[in-house]
């Protein structure tokens, strides 16, 4: 069954989980992007509306991740009709919450619905990556959990390289996003091109510890592992104001571990209780208030659904 209009939702994500640079990501409940895609008779892709971006996102379909991903799908389908996209950004830009991945995913998921969903969520991955690559290169640590939900291990960019990891039931996450933009390109530019062998051994050991902790549901071991990054965080720490103070405040409030969400500046604190997560979020906001920086906070959990179609007609 085909449709003429479909609306979809794609959740926020955080990548890396500290030590898992470019290979681990998770989806977050309660925040994300929405898009409505409609077929039109004339060829081409147009944005009838983009909201929630403060006018920052390009309306040029060759420069917007949502339309680039949609174009990849349309070309694959051999479609001659055009589409109209209404994009509602529920995620701040350059925040470390997978904003570009959500835009890429939500457009493709809605478009797939217009055709009666011929492809599974996993099979939509290559199309979504085309949009994500526009701003941050071909890596799926945000796109995969955004599409599929949960926590994902991303060993490559092909469908068979994506593996789900268990999300412990008692895992809660406190987030703080200070009003400081950290563009992904800038955050990637400061990453070291080489790491010493000793650092490599340490880092791979912590990744193994993280995966083991998830499988055993050991949140304390998980919190320990994510806070031991020796590669990305040292290179990016100067881009995140108040990082050391925030980590200390979060742990004092009961957090098990703190890591930079993706490229930042969002900081994520792992907790084993919802009440503690709310307390940690307030403690994180207090740090940025003391630094005269406004911030947004949230206490949330892992979104196990991933992207979903909201309606179609």
Residue 77 and residue 94: Cα distance in Å, rounded? 32
Clarify whether 278 is annotated catalytic. no
User: How deeply is 194 buried, as exposed, middle or buried, from its count of CB atoms within 10 A (0-12, 13-18, 19+)?
Assistant: exposed
Q: Which 3 state secondary structure label does DSSP give 138? A: coil
Which of the residues 13, 36, 152, 184 is marked catalytic? 184
CA distance 86 to 151: 28
| Cβ proximity of 269 and 277 under 8 Å | yes
Given a contact cutoff of 8 angstroms between Cβ atoms, the answer to whether 12 and 105 are in contact is: no
Residue 218 near residue 257 (C-beta atoms within 8 A): no
**Largest separation between any pair of C-alpha atoms in the chain:** 59
Q: Is 266 a catalytic residue?
A: no
The one catalytic residue in 13, 38, 130, 132 is 132
Query: Which residues share a beta bridge with 82?
Result: 40
Whether the link from the prior residue into 265 is cis, omega within 30° of 0, is yes
Annotated catalytic sites, by residue?
132, 184
């Amino acid at each position: 069954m085909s449709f003429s209009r479909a609306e979809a939702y794609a959740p926020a994500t955080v990548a890396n989980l500290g030590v898992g640079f470019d290979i681990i990501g998770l989806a977050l409940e309660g925040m994300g992007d929405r898009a409505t895609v409609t077929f039109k008779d004339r060829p081409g892709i147009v944005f009838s509306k983009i909201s929630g971006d403060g006018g920052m996102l390009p309306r040029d379909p060759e420069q917007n991740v949502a339309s680039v991903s949609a174009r990849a799908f349309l070309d694959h389908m051999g479609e001659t009709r055009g589409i109209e996209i209404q994009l509602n950004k529920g995620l701040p830009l350059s925040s470390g919450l997978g904003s570009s991945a959500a835009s890429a995913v939500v457009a493709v998921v809605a478009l797939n619905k217009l055709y009666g969903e011929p492809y599974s969520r996993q099979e939509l991955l290559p199309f979504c990556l085309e949009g994500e690559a526009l701003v941050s290169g071909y890596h799926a640590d945000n796109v995969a959990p955004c599409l599929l939900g949960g926590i994902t291990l991303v060993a490559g960019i092909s469908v068979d390289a994506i593996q789900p990891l268990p999300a412990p039931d008692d895992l809660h996450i406190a987030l703080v996003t200070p009003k400081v933009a950290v563009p992904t390109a800038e955050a990637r530019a400061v990453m070291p091109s080489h790491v010493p062998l000793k650092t490599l051994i340490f880092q791979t050991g912590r990744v193994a510890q993280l995966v083991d902790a998830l499988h055993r549901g050991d949140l304390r071991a998980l919190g320990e592992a994510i806070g031991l990054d020796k590669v990305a965080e040292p290179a990016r720490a100067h881009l995140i104001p108040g990082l050391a103070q925030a980590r200390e405040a979060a742990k004092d409030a009961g957090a098990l571990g703190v890591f930079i969400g993706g490229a930042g500046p969002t900081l994520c604190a792992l907790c084993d209780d919802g009440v503690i997560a709310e307390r940690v979020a307030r403690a994180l906001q207090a740090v940025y208030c003391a630094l005269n920086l406004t911030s947004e906070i949230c206490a949330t959990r892992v979104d196990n659904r991933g992207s979903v179609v909201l309606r179609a007609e």
